[in-house]
Amino acid sequence: MQYCNKDRLQDKITTFSQFGATAGGGITRLSLSQAALDARAEFCSRCKKLGMEVKTDDMGNIYATVKGTEDLPAISMGSHLDSVVKGGNYDGVLGVLTALETAETIVTDGIKTRHPITVIVWTNEEGARFDPAMMSSGVITGKFDRDAMLAVKDKEGMTFGEALKASGYLGDVKNRLNPNAQKAYLELHIEQGPVLEAEHLEIGILEGVVGMVNYEIHTAGQADHAGTTPMKMRRDALHAAAELICDLYDKLSKIDDELVFTMGRITALPNVHTVIPDDVRFTLDARHKDPAVVQQVVEVIKNLPTELEKCAVSYKELWSRKTVKFYDSFVDIVEKNVNGLGYTGKRMYSGPGHDAQYVADVLPTTMIFVPSVDGHSHCEEEKTPIDDCVRGANVLLNTVLDIDKL
C-alpha cells in the first residue's frame, strides 16, 4: 500500500481554511468570489510547483494533470472549493485537497503511473451564489444549457458569465473533461451525515447517490377572523396541512427503513395569530437508493386527498433525481483498499448530490466518504478529524494506483 503524508495534508487544510475565513471558524467562499479566487490561485500555484499542467475549460473548471508514462486516458479526481455562506472547512475542499495530496504523493514519492492523473476543481458546486448547484459539472455533462447558466445572476445582479470572465479562469471549451480521454473519475467527500460516526466506521464506500423526489404540497382554505368564525364554518388550511403532515409521516414511515423524508419548509398565510390561515404550503423531500421505493412515495403523493377539512389540497413536483449507481468494479477496488489499509468501512449511498453524480453519466465513477463529526455540514462547525482525512486520502491514492493497473 502507498500512504499520503499527514502533515502535508494538514498544511493544505489549514492553508485553505484561510480563504474566506469567518469569525466562527468556518468559511464563506461563494463561487468566483475573491475568497474563492484566492483558493484557486493557491491550488494552481501548488499544482504548478509539482510540475502539473493546469488548464481551465469554458465553465472555469480547473484540470491539473501529472503526466503518465503511457499515452492513455486520464484518471481524474476532485471536488469543489466554493462553500455556502458560513460553511465549513471540509465540504468540497477536502475532496480537492486529498486529490492534490494524492497527486503530490505520486510526484514526490516518484510513483510512476501509466495514466495521466488529473485533479479537477469544479466551478460553483454549491449554487449558493449562482443557482443551480453542480452548475459546471452539469453543463459539461449535458445537464444544463451553458448560455442559460452564464445568464444566472447573483443577488447583486452580476451574471455567472460576468463573474467567470472577470475571474481569469474562463478557458477553452476543448479543455472540458472528455469522456473519450478519461478512464475514471473519483471524488472524496465528507459524509455530511451522522451514520459513519454513529457506527464507528472510518470510510464510506459509495455505491451511488440516492434518487429523490421533492414536492410542494398546498392547502387552500379561507382566511377569517379567529374570534368570530364558528368552528363549523371554518376552512382552516393549517389544520388540513397538519393532518397531511402527520398522515404523510405515518404512511411514509411504513415504506422502508432506509427511506428518508423531510418536510423542511412550511409557510402559512396570512400568518397572523388572529386570522385563520387560508394558504399553507410545505415541502416534502424523500430519498432512497431503490427507485421502486421512491415510486411508492410518488404513489402516496398521487393518492393525497383533493380535499381535507374543507380545504383544497394540491401538490406539484419541484424536482426529482433518479438514483445514480457508481461503477461496480471501482466500488470493489475502494472496498478492497479500505480492507487492505486496515480501515473500517461500509457500503452506502450518498443522500446529498455531488458533481460525481453528473460525471457518473459519462465516465466510470465512484466516491469515498469520510466521517462528519456530529453529522454537521454547511455550517462553521463542520469537522472531520485529520486522521479520518488521511485515511480517506490513502484510500483515494491506492484506488487511483489500482485503477492505473487496469
Q: Which stretch binds its own copies (CB under 8 A): 6-14, 119-127, 173-181, 242-250?
A: 242-250
Nearer to its own copies, 155 or 273 (CB): 273
Q: Which stretch binds its own copies (CB under 8 A): 34-42, 121-129, 176-184, 281-289?
A: 281-289
54 touches 96 (CB < 8 A): no
HSE-up (13 A, CA, CB side) for residue 333: 25
Q: How many residues contact its own copies, by CB under 8 A?
A: 58
Residue 182 burial by Cβ neighbours in a 10 Å radius (0-12, 13-18, 19+): buried
Nearer to its own copies, 151 or 233 (CB): 233
In the range 333-352, which residues lie near its own copies by CB under 8 A? 350-352
Taking alpha carbons only, the member of 85, 62, 91, 58 closest to residue 160 is 58
284 touches 248 (CB < 8 A): yes
Nearer to its own copies, 231 or 292 (CB): 231
The least CB distance from residue 83 to its own copies, in Å, is: 15
Nearer to its own copies, 1 or 226 (CB): 226
Retrieve residue 101's grid coordinates.
495530496
Task: Please give the span between the terminal C-alpha atoms of the chain, in angstroms, as a whole number.
Answer: 17
Among 273, 302, 316, 405, binds its own copies (CB under 8 A): 273
Residue 274 burial by Cβ neighbours in a 10 Å radius (0-12, 13-18, 19+): exposed
Does 322 bind its own copies (CB under 8 A)? Our answer is no
Q: Which stretch binds its own copies (CB under 8 A): 8-16, 46-54, 209-217, 392-400?
A: 209-217
Taking alpha carbons only, the member of 222, 282, 221, 210 closest to residue 246 is 282
Among 194, 301, 315, 340, binds its own copies (CB under 8 A): 194
DSSP class of 288: E
Nearer to its own copies, 277 or 364 (CB): 277
Instruction: Annotate 278-288 with b (16+ C-beta within 10 A) or e (fewer).
Output: bbbbbebbbbb
Taking alpha carbons only, the member of 184, 175, 189, 194 closest to residue 328 is 184
Nearer to its own copies, 66 or 238 (CB): 238
Among 23, 174, 257, 306, binds its own copies (CB under 8 A): 257
237 touches 221 (CB < 8 A): yes
Q: Which stretch binds its own copies (CB under 8 A): 22-30, 112-120, 159-167, 232-240?
A: 232-240
Among 1, 181, 198, 406, binds its own copies (CB under 8 A): 198
C-alpha 52/C-alpha 208 separation (Å) is 30
Does 275 bind its own copies (CB under 8 A)? Our answer is yes
Does 225 bind its own copies (CB under 8 A)? Our answer is yes
Does 320 bind its own copies (CB under 8 A)? Our answer is no
Nearer to its own copies, 107 or 242 (CB): 242
> H/E/C letters for each residue in 337-381?
HHHHCCCCEEEEEECCCCHHHHHCCCCCEEEEEECCHHHCCCCCC
Does 92 bind its own copies (CB under 8 A)? Our answer is no
Does 224 bind its own copies (CB under 8 A)? Our answer is yes
Nearer to its own copies, 43 or 349 (CB): 349
Calculate the CA 387 to chain-centre distance: 22
Retrieve residue 170's grid coordinates.
474562463
Does 243 bind its own copies (CB under 8 A)? Our answer is yes
Q: Which stretch binds its own copies (CB under 8 A): 5-13, 49-57, 146-154, 231-239?
A: 231-239
Site residues (vs its own copies, CB under 8 A): 191-195, 198, 210, 212, 214, 224-231, 233, 236, 238-239, 241-243, 245-246, 249, 253, 257-268, 271-277, 282-283, 285, 287, 318, 350-352, 375, 377-378
